């Protein structure tokens, strides 16, 4: 399986996981209303499809391979999705569906990041990434992702970890993601930190489907962390 197919397959898997989780929440929120279930499911599905279409079409032009300041992938991918996460979840924090989100699902979802970091390692040999932004360098996201099934098991199967611990774990996950964003940006604009006089950011990462890391996969992890914090705060 080629690297491109692997990136696309991982993105498709996360979309399926999101849709399965959304479908469960919708059915629990509107148990006897088939019309409402269909309506709200489409409200999740259609924006997801449109966003992926947007990322695909723009990336095909090579627009995201321009790494001059300010970085385009931050302005046109990351910031819009972060803004959506903050505004949407803030406005939804008191809605009924928040109570129906399964807490374990939000934790176990973060396991997909093991897949991302594994693909990163293969991407180095393919010239898509520099080793500094992988586990071989300063990216420790794989280690954090490996804690997701452990935290989920201890918190929801064994009832050893409290909701407060899970909430702190979510904040730690957001901090790890913030460090990775800094890592990627600094390898481009501050390569001196890594002993280089030129940018360490290969242009290949700006093409589709590699751009899905910045344009969907990483923001989806942020969304789930923030949603988990909102759910835990609401239930506590």
Structure letter (DSSP) for residue 194? G
Report whether 135 contacts 121 (CB < 8 A): yes
Q: Which residues of 134-159 are buried (b: 16+ CB within 10 A; e: fewer)?
A: beebbbebbebbebbeebbeebbeee
Report whether 133 contacts 84 (CB < 8 A): no
Report whether 140 contacts 177 (CB < 8 A): no
Half-sphere exposure of 82 (CA within 13 A, CB side): 13
CB burial of residue 56 (10 Å; 0-12, 13-18, 19+): middle
Please state, in angstroms and as integers, the Cα–Cα distance from residue 222 to each residue in 9, 16, 40, 180, 214, following that order.
Answer: 20, 17, 22, 12, 11
* pLDDT at residue 118 in the model: 94
Distance of CA 131 to the CA centre of its chain: 21
- Tens of pLDDT along the chain (236 residues) come to 589 999 999 999 999 999 999 999 999 999 999 999 999 999 999 999 999 999 999 999 999 988 888 889 999 999 999 999 999 999 999 999 999 999 999 999 999 999 999 999 999 888 888 888 888 888 999 999 999 999 999 999 999 999 999 999 999 999 999 999 999 999 988 888 888 888 888 878 899 999 999 999 999 999 999 999 999 998 76
pTM score, whole prediction? 0.94
* pLDDT at residue 236 in the model: 67
Helices 141-152 and 113-125, interaxial angle, to 10°? 160
DSSP 106-147: HHHGGGGHHHHHHHHHHHHHTTSS-GGGSTTTT--HHHHHHH
């Amino acid at each position: 399986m080629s690297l491109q197919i692997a990136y696309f397959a991982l993105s498709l898997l996360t979309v399926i996981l999101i849709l399965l989780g959304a479908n469960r929440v919708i059915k629990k929120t509107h148990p006897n209303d088939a019309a409402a279930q269909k309506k709200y499911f489409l409200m999740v599905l259609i924006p997801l499809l449109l966003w992926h279409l947007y990322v695909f079409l723009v990336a095909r032009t090579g627009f995201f391979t321009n790494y001059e300041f300010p970085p385009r992938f931050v302005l046109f991918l990351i910031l819009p999705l972060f803004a959506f996460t903050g505004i949407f979840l803030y406005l939804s924090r008191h809605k009924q569906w928040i109570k129906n989100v399964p807490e374990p699902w939000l934790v176990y979802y973060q396991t997909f990041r093991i897949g991302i970091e594994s693909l990163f390692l293969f991407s180095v040999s393919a010239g898509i990434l520099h080793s500094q932004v992988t586990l071989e360098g300063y990216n420790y996201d794989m280690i954090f992702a490996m804690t997701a099934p452990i935290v989920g098991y201890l918190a929801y199967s064994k009832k050893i970890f409290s909701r407060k611990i899970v909430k702190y774990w979510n904040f730690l996950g957001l901090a790890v993601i913030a460090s990775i964003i800094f890592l990627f940006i600094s390898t481009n604009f501050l390569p001196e930190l890594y002993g280089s006089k030129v940018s360490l950011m290969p242009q290949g990462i700006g093409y589709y489907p590699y751009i899905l890391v910045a344009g969907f996969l990483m923001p989806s992890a942020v969304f789930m962390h923030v949603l988990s914090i909102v759910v835990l705060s609401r239930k506590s």
